[in-house]
């Protein structure tokens, strides 16, 4: 019922504007209102803060269906009650922070962004250089952040900073910073290959003073954060890939049924039939892996290996499927009059965001070598 | 004032229906099923009456197998207050459904009973009318507008020549047409609430209704395939073909 409902909403409201949002680099914020009006903004926020407290599996289904219609909307949804920031606040935040942010996020009134990467610290989180130095009841923040999705519209940012001079991961923590705090500036839109409408930008901090109670993860608490992120690796990034790949196959199938060459529909050519079948096999394999991981996550049994296996496979599957969708549609697949090239561009970044597929292969191998995996 | 709405579980309107290989009916195994769209309109209208303060309780009723519970949950998620399933695995024809609905109406004593004008599976368009005959209540079919005031219902009906507006006394049976309203989306919080709303189960035996089919289906076949069309050079050629080939003018 959840899937039926969100599919109907997403197909009727989000799909028609998806191409324009991409073309015009305009975040479809109006879609967030539609989600909020229908109760889909506060999915992961606990009930006592006005959310629904739904589990990982439902959240994944919702993200998949939203992405099937518009990947940019799904990315923005990450800034509402379904994204990583509220989940972190709910899991480790102080009561004051929870009360301040969660109820508004549950209503879709407060948009939260999440900022981890820096110009010199992507996968290497231990190398975070943005400094927060304690001064009385405040922290003074200096440095800059990169690739922050939703930055241009966010009201509040969860920012990874070095709270303690200890080198490496031990000195890194996280602090909540509100838009408009003096000394904090959001940079120009960063134009990437796809996901043009997420308002992605760098963040700059120059003697930005933030109250000490805004610290959400103290220095050295990153392990806790990564535990929360393991679930999030299932919910966010690969579910968007799965949704976009599903849309690509659905649209490619519709196109090849209609399109005639040499007097026959494309679907009558066996070469193309096999290609479509391979796309479906790949897609369904990815879906099965991701659903299995989401079920485990919902039961609290997700291992880092499960999350990495699902993420890597689904990321790469979505590249293959969207690429094949372009191929079977020929020149129309390349044209921006059709959605196929956008699907291809939109999924590309997911193999880099939230841990590159290489980093995830490292952790898969580590688990294997440690003996935590029996084939 | 209480409103009853009837709900039928049908093959989803997006599904391409297939006839069973033995010709006894259409394939429903492993097929997506949903609420009959006209019934969705009925639920929506009842909810709007409740939101306007005219109706105090909306009860959804369905007749059929256990799986109809799922469809009733959708009605609850749209906002109905409670649901009743008259559970049976028998094939139910419109007369049987009308009798079951009458029995439920006798128990529940609603002032208004909103029914979809027809179901998109068998397109019978009979249940509402027969229910009115059995209950002896007034009826307004094919409603595109409904107003309730001073114990009367003012209903605009879609008739062949245009729109007819009639005023009938309550209790009444209203059957919904497509333009009566546009049903809302099922919202996520309401899906969660729907799980906790009461859903009672009755049986035809307990209601004392004989549901045995009175009609026999001889054969179900696929519609014949449409032949390819032809292009004509000009209007004169079209008129010639319509007159001499198709013989329709």
- Categorize the per-residue pLDDT at A121 as very low, low, confident or very high, splitting at 50, 70 and 90: confident
What is the CATH number for B132? 3.40.50.620
Do the bridges between strand A201-211 and strand A184-186 make them parallel or antiparallel, or are there none, so unpaired? antiparallel
What is the CATH number for A44? 1.10.540.10
Asked if residue A331 and residue A275 are part of one domain, the reply reads yes
Contact yes or no for B119/B11 (Cβ under 8 A): no
A8 closest CA partner among B154, B222, B110, B184: B184
pLDDT, tens digit, for every residue of A186-240?
A: 999 889 999 999 989 999 999 999 999 999 988 888 888 877 777 777 888 999 9
Handedness of CA B194, B199, B204, B208 (dihedral sign): negative
Q: Domain residues for B174? A: 2-245
Contact yes or no for A49/A97 (Cβ under 8 A): no
A50 touches chain B (CB under 8 A): no
Kindly identify which residue of chain B lies nearest to residue A58, measuring between CA atoms.
B188
Whole-number pLDDT of residue A60 = 92
Provide the domain count of chain B.
1
A356 closest CA partner among A318, A322, A315: A315
How far apart, in whole angstroms, are the C-alpha atoms of residue B9 and residue B64? 8
Asked if residue A147 and residue A214 are part of one domain, the reply reads yes
Contact yes or no for B111/B3 (Cβ under 8 A): yes
* Chain A interface test: which of B40, B72, B83, B188 (most A C-beta within 10 Å): B188
- Taking phi over 0 as left and psi of -120 to 50 as alpha, with beta for the rest, B53 belongs to left
**Helices A56-69 and A237-258, axial angle in degrees (round to 10):** 40
A39 touches chain B (CB under 8 A): yes
Whole-number pLDDT of residue B170 = 92
Do the bridges between strand A172-178 and strand A131-135 make them parallel or antiparallel, or are there none, so unpaired? unpaired
How far apart, in whole angstroms, are the C-alpha atoms of residue B78 and residue B46? 11
Mean of pLDDT values over A154-172: 89
pLDDT, tens digit, for every residue of A227-280?
A: 777 777 788 899 999 999 999 999 999 999 888 888 888 888 898 999 999 999
Whole-number pLDDT of residue A165 = 85
Q: Residue A8: which of B185, B190, B192 has the nearest Cβ?
A: B185
pLDDT, tens digit, for every residue of A286-336?
A: 999 999 999 998 888 888 899 999 999 999 999 999 999 999 999 999 999
Contact yes or no for B59/B83 (Cβ under 8 A): yes
Q: Is residue A279 part of a domain?
A: yes
A5·B185 Cβ contact <8 A:
yes
Contact yes or no for A177/A208 (Cβ under 8 A): yes
- Say whether the peptide bond before residue B171 is cis (omega within 30 degrees of 0): yes
Asked if residue A35 and residue A95 are part of one domain, the reply reads yes
Kindly identify which residue of chain B lies nearest to residue A4, measuring between CA atoms.
B186
Asked if residue A363 and residue A260 are part of one domain, the reply reads yes
Where does a domain end: A110, A136, A170?
A110
Whole-number pLDDT of residue B23 = 86
Q: Is residue A226 part of a domain?
A: no
How far apart, in whole angstroms, are the C-alpha atoms of residue A290 and residue A314? 7
List the Cα angle B52/B134/B89 in 5-degree steps: 90
B185·A38 Cβ contact <8 A:
yes
Kindly identify which residue of chain B lies nearest to residue A54, measuring between CA atoms.
B192
Q: Domain residues for A137? A: 114-219
State the residue for tokens 């309109």.
Answer: B41
Residue A118 has pLDDT above 90, yes or no: no
List the Cα angle B95/B100/B106 in 5-degree steps: 125
Where does a domain end: A59, A89, A110?
A110
* Chain B interface test: which of A33, A36, A38, A43 (most B C-beta within 10 Å): A38
B191·A4 Cβ contact <8 A:
no
Q: Residue A38: which of B73, B188, B192 has the nearest Cβ?
A: B188
Q: Residue A39: which of B34, B74, B189 has the nearest Cβ?
A: B189
Q: Residue B192: which of A9, A37, A52 has the nearest Cβ?
A: A52
Kindly identify which residue of chain A lies nearest to residue B185, measuring between CA atoms.
A5
Whole-number pLDDT of residue B224 = 85
Q: Residue A70's CB: how many other CB atoms inside 10 A?
A: 30
Strands (E), A39-126: 112-115
> Considering only CB atoms, which residues of chain B are within 8 Å of chain A?
34, 70, 73-74, 77, 185-192, 194
Contact yes or no for B157/B142 (Cβ under 8 A): yes
Contact yes or no for A162/A132 (Cβ under 8 A): yes
Residue A85 has pLDDT above 90, yes or no: no
Whole-number pLDDT of residue A348 = 96
Residue B229 CB burial class (10 angstroms; 0-12, 13-18, ≥19): exposed
Q: What percent of chain A has pLDDT over 90?
A: 56
State the residue for tokens 């909103």.
Answer: B114
Q: Nearest-CA distance from A256 to chain B in Å?
A: 18
Q: Is residue A229 part of a domain?
A: no
Burial letters for B31-64: b for 16+ Cβ neighbours within 10 Å, e otherwise? Answer: eeebbbbbbbbbbbbbbbbbeeebbeebbbbbbb
**Mean pLDDT of all residues in chain A?**
90
List chain B residues with pLDDT less than 70: none
Under DSSP, is residue B200 helix (H, G, I), strand (E, B) or coil? strand
Whole-number pLDDT of residue A166 = 84
A5·B77 Cβ contact <8 A:
yes
Mean of pLDDT values over A143-152: 90
Q: What predicted TM-score, i.e. pTM, was given to this entire model?
A: 0.84
B60 closest CA partner among B37, B79, B36, B87: B79
């Amino acid at each position: 019922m959840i899937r039926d409902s969100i599919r109907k909403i997403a197909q009727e409201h989000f799909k028609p504007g998806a191409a324009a949002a991409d073309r015009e680099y305009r975040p479809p914020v109006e879609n967030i209102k539609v989600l909020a009006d229908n109760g889909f903004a506060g999915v992961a926020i606990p009930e006592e803060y006005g959310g629904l407290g739904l589990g990982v599996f439902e959240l994944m289904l919702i993200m998949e269906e939203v992405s099937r219609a518009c990947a940019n909307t799904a990315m923005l949804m990450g800034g509402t009650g379904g994204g990583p920031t509220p989940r972190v606040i709910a899991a480790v935040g102080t009561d004051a922070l929870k009360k301040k942010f969660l109820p508004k996020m549950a209503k879709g009134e407060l948009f939260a962004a999440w900022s981890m990467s820096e110009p010199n610290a992507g996968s290497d989180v231990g190398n975070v250089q943005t400094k927060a130095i304690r001064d009385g009841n405040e922290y003074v923040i200096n440095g800059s952040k990169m690739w922050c999705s939703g930055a241009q519209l966010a009201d509040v940012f969860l920012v990874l900073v070095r709270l303690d001079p200890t080198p490496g991961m031990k000195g890194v923590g996280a602090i909540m910073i509100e838009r408009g705090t003096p000394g904090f500036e959001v940079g120009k839109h960063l134009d990437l290959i796809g996901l043009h409408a997420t308002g992605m930008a760098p963040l700059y901090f120059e003697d930005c003073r933030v109250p000490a109670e805004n610290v959400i993860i103290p220095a050295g608490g990153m392990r806790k954060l990564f535990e929360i992120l393991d679930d999030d690796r299932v919910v966010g990034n690969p579910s968007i890939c799965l949704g976009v790949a599903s849309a690509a196959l659905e649209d490619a199938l519709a196109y090849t049924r209609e399109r005639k060459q040499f007097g026959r529909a494309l679907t009558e050519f066996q070469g193309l039939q096999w290609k479509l079948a391979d796309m479906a096999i790949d897609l369904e394999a990815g879906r099965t892996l991701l659903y299995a991981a989401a079920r485990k996550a919902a039961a609290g049994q997700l291992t880092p290996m499960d999350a990495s296996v699902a993420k890597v496979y689904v990321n790469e599957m979505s590249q293959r499927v969207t690429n094949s969708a372009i191929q079977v549609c020929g020149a129309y697949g390349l044209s921006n009059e059709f959605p196929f090239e956008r699907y291809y561009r939109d999924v590309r970044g997911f193999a880099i965001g939230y841990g590159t597929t290489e980093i995830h292969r490292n952790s898969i191998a580590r688990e294997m070598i440690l003996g935590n995996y029996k084939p | 004032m209480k409103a009853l709405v009837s709900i039928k579980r049908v093959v989803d309107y997006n599904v391409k229906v297939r006839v069973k290989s033995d010709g006894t009916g259409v394939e429903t195994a492993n097929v997506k099923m949903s609420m009959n769209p006209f019934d969705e309109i009925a639920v929506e209208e009842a909810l709007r009456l409740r939101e306007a303060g005219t109706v105090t309780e909306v009860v959804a009723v369905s007749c059929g197998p256990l799986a109809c519970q799922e469809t009733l949950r959708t009605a609850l998620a749209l906002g109905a207050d409670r649901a009743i399933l008259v559970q049976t695995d028998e094939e139910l024809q419109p007369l049987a459904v009308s009798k079951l609905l009458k029995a439920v109406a006798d128990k529940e004593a609603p002032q208004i009973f909103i029914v979809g004008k027809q179901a998109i599976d068998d397109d019978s368009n009979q249940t509402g009318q027969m229910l009115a005959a059995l209950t002896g209540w007034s009826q307004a079919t094919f409603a595109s507008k409904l107003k309730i005031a001073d114990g009367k219902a003012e209903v605009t009906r879609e008739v062949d020549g245009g729109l007819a507006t009639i005023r009938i006394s309550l209790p009444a049976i209203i059957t919904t047409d497509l333009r009566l309203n546009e049903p809302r989306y099922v919202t996520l919080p309401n899906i969660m609430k729907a799980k906790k709303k009461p859903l009672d189960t009755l049986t035809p035996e307990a209601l004392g209704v004989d549901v045995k089919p009175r009609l026999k289906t001889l054969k179900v076949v696929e519609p014949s395939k449409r032949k390819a069309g032809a292009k004509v050079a000009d209007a004169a050629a079209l008129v010639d073909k319509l007159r001499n080939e198709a013989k329709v003018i």
